[in-house]
Amino acid sequence: MRVLPQDFYLRRPDIVARELLGKLLVRVYKGIRLSGFIVETEAYFGEEDPASRARKGGDLAMTMRGEVGIALVYGVHRQWLLNVVAHEPGNAGAVLIRAIEPFEGINMMKKLRAVNDIRNLTNGPGKLTRALAIDKRFHKRPLFLEYESLRIEQGRIVKPEEIGVSFRVNVTKDMPIPLRFYIKNSKFLSR
DNA sequence: CGCCAGATTGACT
DNA sequence: GTCAATCTGGCGG
């Protein structure tokens, strides 16, 4: 299956967040494909977004302003969270991958997470990085190249009526517009 | 180096 | 529903 091209990410983060639904997140781990369809995302903007790391300065802010289509991985509450840098030219932004529906390599994911329930495998941003063995080493790596061990592929078509929208989860200061996107009937959403 | 906030999770009332 | 363990990045000293 083909990876998404880099210019897929050269658009507003809310657009990219919505369009990422149904795409396949792929991690090649010890020669095995671990993958899942993206079912939940959140968009983050630059300075104007009170919840965005772009406000805090430093490396994360630089990364959010930099090349699109690369991973932005950072730690919160002892978890690693996976984002994709996405914004229009000259702006800043990123999309947080919040949940995926397990597809390939499910047994390996269960081992990595030490759980059996498939519904509890990748239904949260910290859970899915754990299940796919994603950590800080992937920070700033491109997700749009065929040979990379972490990448995003074409996936399946999602109809507009399947998509739900809400405010972001656990964000203390949110934007006045809803920036969380999810597939309404999915059994693999975060709580 | 110490302090602090936080885009979480899992355990528990 | 509540609560805190535990760790990273940014920043001040």
Backbone torsion region of residue A31, taken as left when φ is above 0, otherwise alpha when ψ lies between -120 and 50, otherwise beta: left
Which amino acid appears at position A18 of this protein? R
Rounded Cα gap, residues A159 and A146, in angstroms: 26
> Is strand B within 7 Å of residue A96 (CB)?
yes
Task: Using alpha carbons, select from A140, A148, A20, A125 the residue that is nearest to residue A75.
Answer: A125
For every residue of A152-163, DSSP letters joined together read EE------GGGE
A31 pLDDT above the threshold of 90: yes
Structural domains in chain A, CATH included, are 6-154+164-183 (3.10.300.10)
CB-to-strand B under 7 Å, chain A 7-46: 42, 44
Chain C positions with a protein C-beta closer than 7 Å: 5-11
Average pLDDT over residues A117-127: 97
Chain B positions with a protein C-beta closer than 7 Å: 6-10
pLDDT tens digits for A52-90? 989 888 999 999 999 999 999 999 999 999 999 999 999
Question: What pLDDT is recorded for position A191?
Answer: 86
Strand C CB-contacts below 7 Å = A 56-61, 74-78, 136
